[in-house]
Amino acid sequence: MYNINYREINFNKLTLGEKQRVFPLMQAELILYAYELGYRFSEGDGFRAPSVFGEIGESKGYGHRNSCHKYKLAHDWNLYKLDKNGKAIYQKDTEAFIELGIYWKGMNPACCWGGDFKNSDGNHFSIEHNGSK
């Protein structure tokens, strides 16, 4: 297993490719943390391809024109919480993600959580790149 202290990484010194290769490891840690707390995820938006969403800076489809999804530095997760019988209950409100948003932001100052956005987007976990979140 990898044992990385993500807090020690200076993302300002990493290339886009280096950030893209660290991001999945950090997402893995977020997922494991969430599952330990009794949350479950299902797949949401990951990479937003230029053929569908336009090039970086171009508005096409939905989402921000400079979204970190276009940089492969963002992932949206559908959230479920296990009830006392072990049944996974879908959570649609940003508030349900707060515990995970705090954990994600605690991993590194470059980590952004959509729950902090003006248009709250609790299922969004990203790494800042060139001012995009």
Chain residues in the site for Zn ion (CB under 5 A): 74, 76, 124
Identity of the residue, 9 or 68, whose beta carbon is nearer to Zn ion in the bound complex: 68
Instruction: Decide: residue 6, CB within 10 A, 0-12 exposed, 13-18 middle, 19+ buried.
Output: middle
Identity of the residue, 103 or 115, whose beta carbon is nearer to Zn ion in the bound complex: 115
Taking Cα atoms as reference points, which of 21, 27, 25, 26 lies closest to residue 45? Answer: 27
Identity of the residue, 39 or 124, whose beta carbon is nearer to Zn ion in the bound complex: 124
Minimum separation from the CB atom of position 120 to Zn ion (A): 12
Torsion of the alpha carbons at 129, 61, 122 and 82, rounded to the nearest 10: -120
Distances in Å between the Cα of 37 and the Cα atoms of 13, 30, 32 are 33, 11, 9
Q: What angle do CA 85, 87, 89 make, to 5 degrees?
A: 130
Shortest-Cβ-distance residue relative to Zn ion: 124
Minimum separation from the CB atom of position 126 to Zn ion (A): 7
Minimum separation from the CB atom of position 108 to Zn ion (A): 18
Minimum separation from the CB atom of position 57 to Zn ion (A): 17
**Structure-block tokens of residue 33:** 């943390």
Identity of the residue, 103 or 124, whose beta carbon is nearer to Zn ion in the bound complex: 124
